[in-house]
Amino acid sequence: MNKSDIAIVILNWNGRALLEQFLPSVIAHSENATIYVADNASTDTSVAYVKSNHPTVKIIENKTNGGYAKGYNDALKHVDEKFLCLLNSDIEVTPNWLQPVLNIFNTHSDTAIIQPKILDYKNKRYFEYAGAAGGFIDKYGYPYCRGRIFDTIEEDLGQYNDTTSIFWASGACFFIKNSVFKALNGFDASFFAHMEEIDLCWRAHNRGYSTTYVGTSTVYHVGGATLDSDNPKKTYLNFRNSLFTLVKNAPKHLFYLIVIRLILDGLASLRFLIFFKFSQILAILKAHVHFYLQLPKLLKQRKELRPGKSSKRISKYYTIQSIVWQYFIKNQQKYIE
């Protein structure tokens, strides 16, 4: 591998403490990569810290904080390496984490996106919520992972040490060919954060590209360093952006899918009501209001994203009808089930 083959791009916003903790491991175990810190208009001393302590790391300074999606879109305009690794600032990498990924890129020409095994930094025997061992969605656009379904997290017993096709790769550690990222016009900046990687992977699938999980590469993710799992803003973004993704990319029966999602999201609100999580209910309502306000724009995007005559939107984007039914009604809480 040439030094110019891969760029590791860490998006930062007021995250000096995370950079101090995790950037050294990235530098130590990524000797053949070019490392960038893309700063999203931080107001702390993040940039000064990197410049003073890690002079080999390149700095990209975005003018505004556009969140994960726009932040990477803006930063990656300045990155020319063949392969990109979009890495969260709260990730600890391991020795030889890059080589298995690069081997797949170099031997499987149809693979455009890759995710490694993502384990929990706080409990390293278990998978981490944001991606685990590779992601899928059900017919109604709800995401789940090998190793993590809703709040059920599996212990890593080597059951996902394989290399296999997946539907989406986690944005926590997201490898993509630079040419493909640019061909897809990057992330949808209207997402701000959360699920933009699922939208990008779906658009890639509709263009004929593949997404792969490589279980011989391992990283550890803190998770929730920006927004914890109970933050209503995170709930709002996840529910809204899931609907955005469905409308933009699903192949057919769109009205039916939206109606079913309305019912299922309503049931999710009732579940929050049982636990007196009123802020979460308001977040779901807000997500739906904003979704319907954006529906004309989304339908226009859907039309613009329509594949050419020689291809079509993939019809088998899902492997099961409803993860909600499987998990909550049939009590099947592990991927193998």
Q: pLDDT tens across 112-141, in order?
A: 999 999 999 999 999 999 999 999 999 999
167 phi and psi angles, rounded to 5 deg: -95, -35
Q: Minimum mean pLDDT among 78-82, 144-148, 301-305: which range? A: 301-305
State the average pLDDT for the chain: 94
The whole-number pLDDT of residue 316 equals 84
pTM > 0.75: yes or no: yes
What are the sequence ranges of the domains in the chain?
Answer: 232-329
Q: With pLDDT > 90 as the criterion, what percentage of the chain qualifies?
A: 90
CA dist 211 and 113 (Å) reads: 5
The whole-number pLDDT of residue 320 equals 93
Q: Which residues does 300 contact at the CB level (< 8 Å), separation at least 6?
A: none
The whole-number pLDDT of residue 309 equals 47
CA-based nearest residue to 100, from 179, 29, 24? 29
Structure tokens, 296? 């004309």
CA-based nearest residue to 141, from 244, 270, 213? 244
| 150-163 mean pLDDT | 97
Q: Which residues does 192 contact at the CB level (< 8 Å), separation at least 6?
A: 66, 67, 68, 69, 70, 237
pLDDT band at 32 (very low <50, low <70, confident <90, very high): confident
Greater confidence (311 vs 106) lies with: 106
CA dist 254 and 252 (Å) reads: 5
Contact 190, 89 (CB under 8 A): no
Residue type, 232: P
CA dist 99 and 7 (Å) reads: 13
Report whether pLDDT(92) > 80: yes
pLDDT band at 228 (very low <50, low <70, confident <90, very high): low
| 312-320 mean pLDDT | 85
pLDDT band at 306 (very low <50, low <70, confident <90, very high): confident
| 263-282 mean pLDDT | 93
The whole-number pLDDT of residue 314 equals 82
Structure tokens, 231? 């933050």
Q: With pLDDT > 70 as the criterion, what percentage of the chain qualifies?
A: 95
The whole-number pLDDT of residue 311 equals 56
Structure tokens, 334? 């592990």
